[in-house]
Structure 1
């Protein structure tokens, strides 16, 4: 009984230390870093599948490096796979709930998918976390203002002819 206060203090210290070390992104494994660079080059060249392959290989090499999920999400968005991109952004957010790039990216993917109300929730979250002038907030505001891509706007029920 007389050790209870000391044990409680020690467990609190260990829990705090463990959560801080988990939350920090370390440098990626050098092999994963090379694959990430390879994926970025492929994405710039317009080869989204090669980029996705490189990022997935990097993830296999270093599954603890959260920024790989952001790279995978960007490649999926460029490939037109917004649902998959949202899944990658959410994985990054599960690992780092305050990741501004993941919140903004998920919001942009939601806009591209046509889910403007959900994207506006991401915008409100960003504004509360980093303010109205941070780059991620401004980027998401611009994306929301532009609205969904034209192909989605053409598919809405208001613009399709009614069938009789």
Structure 2
């Protein structure tokens, strides 16, 4: 075959600038580990859940549900800073994940960052075109967090000897 003809065939088969096709399906084993993580969360075993979700991510690092699941487990363990980090990872993969936005908002409120939680609330409201229970729940958490912060007594600094 002539080189010019071969070049023409290559151009017609793959248009210039065409991106390679992307596999949007998660690996089944990753999905299974994430389901095991959800079951462990439901059973009140957050550390077991983290282990399962981490295995899901080792199998397929695109598993948004696994990142959110780890974040939920850290919330249950009382570690909102770690939860925020994992929600951020989930949102990096899917910025429109309303559950991750709500969860990150809750964790932000737990850390005292209500202004940042308000940004998440605004994003949720922009994504929800109709009545949105996630927005209502996050509004309640923000309101409760604001009341708690304003009701907390401020201790004066103590002098060091």
Give the TM-score normalised by the residue count of structure 2: 0.76
Gaps of 5+ in 2: 1-14
Q: What is the aligned counterpart of 1:160 among 151, 155, 159?
A: 155
Correspondent of 2:116 among 112, 115, 118? 118
Report 1:1-40 matches (<5 A). Answer: 11=17, 14=18, 21=22, 26=25, 28-40=26-38
1:110 CA displacement: 0.3
In structure 1, what is the Cα distance between the partners aligned to 2:147 and 2:83? 16
CA 1:131–1:139 in structure 2 vs 1: closer, same or farther (change >3 Å)? Answer: farther
- Three-state SS of the structure 2 residue aligned to 1:147 is helix
Report the count of equivalent residues: 147
What is the CA-CA distance between 1:30 and the residue it aligns to?
A: 2.7
Aligned to 1:141: 139
8 Å CA contact 1:131, 1:137 repeated in 2? no
Give the alignment's Cα RMSD to 1 decimal: 2.8
Bigger radius of gyration among the two: 2
TM-score by length of 1: 0.74
Deviations 1:51-86 (A, max 9, x none): 111111111112122211111111111111111111
5+ residue gaps, structure 1: 1-8
Runs (4+) of structure 1 moved beyond 6 Å?
none
